[in-house]
């Protein structure tokens, strides 16, 4: 077992630069994921990316309890959870965090994120065409009401840090202007075919660590998140060739590249978590290899977020503030 490298957050806290995702994409059971958390901890993972909407915090909580009872100090673990979209109301934020803490069998979280900036509820497993009749656009004043309660969670000691997910530069600008406690991380989709260079540089320039989700290009994502135009990172000839050179699977190469680029990837895996960690710890990629991978960005967003659209005749691009503006 070897230590995973760390990122230092603006608070001075150290966060492991590789985490394990825990969203089972509607096909991997809570028990299997809880088992993967246990196995991953045994080989050296300490960072686990959880969320209430993944429907498995209770099962993961049993594993965390076992790990702590088995001798891993709580302070060596980095546990993230997330506020789901139907819990943005002021009265719901603290109770949602407490629910996750109870499920995870913890007294505090290391990170609590607002999962999406939209308060639009949609039921689990719903089709991407499904729309909530109460759907709203991003309304900054409303988001700030939620954020004030997120700040209160830090004051109450229920989480050490707060952060955002699925944000854009225009939304982050407003939040940074108005926050008392600024986000320590922004969780965002990041993989070789979707590098988001502008947002990536923006968050880092503002002392916010980028957490990269779908780092392998989410080959197991649910059908509803698949479009014919989506590209496949792990079949890209550049990824395949560099992976061969380093003797790792193309998926592990994506994870390795992510850590070396400066983001914190959180690959989901029930079978390959050890290989991904070993790849991260192996010989670094050369500058030329890093340049080659920088050159294969296809701007291919996989998690488009269609269910959050709030009016007719919109496209998913509207969710991501095209032209630097937040559509009303």
Ligand X SMILES: NC(=O)c1ccc[n+]([C@@H]2O[C@H](COP(=O)([O-])OP(=O)(O)OC[C@H]3O[C@@H](n4cnc5c(N)ncnc54)[C@H](OP(=O)(O)O)[C@@H]3O)[C@@H](O)[C@H]2O)c1
Q: Does 182 bind ligand X (CB under 6 A)?
A: no
Cα–Cα distance list, 6 to 99, 146, 194 (Å): 28, 29, 23
Q: Does 252 bind ligand X (CB under 6 A)?
A: yes
Tell me the backbone φ, ψ of residue 295, rounded to 5 degrees: -80, -5
Question: What is residue 197's three-state secondary structure?
Answer: helix
Which of 96, 100, 164, 276 contacts ligand X by CB under 6 A?
A: 276
Q: Quickly list DSSP for 54-72.
A: GT-HHHHHHHHHHHHHTT-
Which position among 45, 54, 112, 213 bears the catalytic label? 54
The region of 152-160, 265-273, 288-296, 313-321 touching ligand X under the rule CB under 6 A is 265-273
Please report, as residue ranges, which positions from 230 to 249 form the binding site for ligand X (by CB under 6 A). 249
Report the alpha-carbon distance of residue 39 to residue 51 in Å, rounded: 20
Taking the least distance from each CB to ligand X, the nearer of 40 and 73 is 40
Q: Does 78 bind ligand X (CB under 6 A)?
A: no
Please report, as residue ranges, which positions from 293 to 312 form the binding site for ligand X (by CB under 6 A). 303
Q: Does 164 bind ligand X (CB under 6 A)?
A: no
Q: Are 182 and 170 in contact (CB under 8 A)?
A: no
Tell me the backbone φ, ψ of residue 215, rounded to 5 degrees: -65, -20
> Which of 303, 258, 294, 289 minimizes the C-alpha distance to 276?
258
- Please report how close the Cβ of residue 259 comes to ligand X at its closest, in angstroms: 13
Please report, as residue ranges, which positions from 10 to 29 form the binding site for ligand X (by CB under 6 A). 21-23
Structure tokens at 108: 């505090």
Question: What is residue 20's three-state secondary structure?
Answer: strand
Report the alpha-carbon distance of residue 100 to residue 83 in Å, rounded: 9
- Please report how close the Cβ of residue 221 comes to ligand X at its closest, in angstroms: 5
Residues 104-133: x where in contact with ligand X by CB under 6 A, - otherwise, as a string? -----------x------------------
Q: Does 147 bind ligand X (CB under 6 A)?
A: no
Cα–Cα distance list, 25 to 4, 64, 299 (Å): 26, 21, 22
- Please report how close the Cβ of residue 25 comes to ligand X at its closest, in angstroms: 6
Query: Is 138 a known active-site residue?
Result: no
Taking the least distance from each CB to ligand X, the nearer of 154 and 185 is 185
The residues that are catalytic are: 54
Give the footprint of ligand X on this chain (CB under 6 A). Answer: 21-23, 49, 115, 165-166, 187, 213-221, 249, 251-252, 266-272, 275-276, 303
């Amino acid at each position: 077992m070897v230590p995973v490298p760390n990122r230092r957050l603006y608070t001075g806290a150290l966060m492991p630069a590789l985490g394990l995702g825990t969203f089972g994409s509607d096909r991997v059971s809570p028990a299997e994921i809880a088992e993967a958390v246990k196995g991953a901890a045994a080989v050296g993972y300490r960072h686990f990316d959880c969320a209430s909407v993944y429907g498995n915090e209770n099962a993961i909580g049993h594993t965390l309890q076992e790990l702590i009872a088995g001798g891993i100090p709580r302070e060596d673990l980095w546990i993230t959870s997330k506020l789901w979209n139907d819990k943005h109301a002021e009265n719901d934020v603290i109770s949602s965090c407490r629910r996750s803490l109870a499920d995870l069998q913890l007294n505090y979280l290391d990170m609590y994120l607002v999962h999406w900036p939209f308060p639009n509820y949609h039921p689990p497993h719903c089709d991407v065409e499904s729309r909530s009749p109460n759907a709203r656009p991003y309304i900054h004043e409303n988001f700030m009401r939620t954020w004030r309660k997120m700040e209160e969670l830090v004051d109450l000691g229920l989480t050490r840090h707060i952060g955002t997910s699925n944000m854009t530069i225009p939304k982050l600008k407003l939040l940074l202007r108005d926050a008392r406690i600024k986000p320590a991380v922004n969780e965002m989709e990041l993989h070789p075919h979707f590098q988001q260079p502008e947002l990536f540089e923006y968050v880092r320039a503002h002392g916010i660590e980028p957490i990269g989700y779908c780092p392998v290009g989410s080959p197991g994502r649910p059908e509803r998140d698949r479009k014919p135009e989506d590209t496949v990172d792990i079949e890209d000839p550049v990824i395949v060739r560099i992976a061969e050179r380093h003797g790792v699977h193309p998926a592990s190469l994506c994870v390795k590249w992510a850590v070396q680029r400066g983001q914190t990837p959180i690959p989901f895996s029930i079978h390959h978590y050890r290989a991904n960690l070993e790849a991260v710890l192996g010989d670094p990629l050369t500058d030329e290899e890093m340049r080659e991978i920088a050159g294969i960005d296809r701007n291919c967003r996989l998690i488009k977020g269609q269910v959050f659209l709030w009016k007719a005749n919109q496209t998913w691009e509207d969710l991501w503030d095209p032209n630097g503006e937040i559509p009303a």
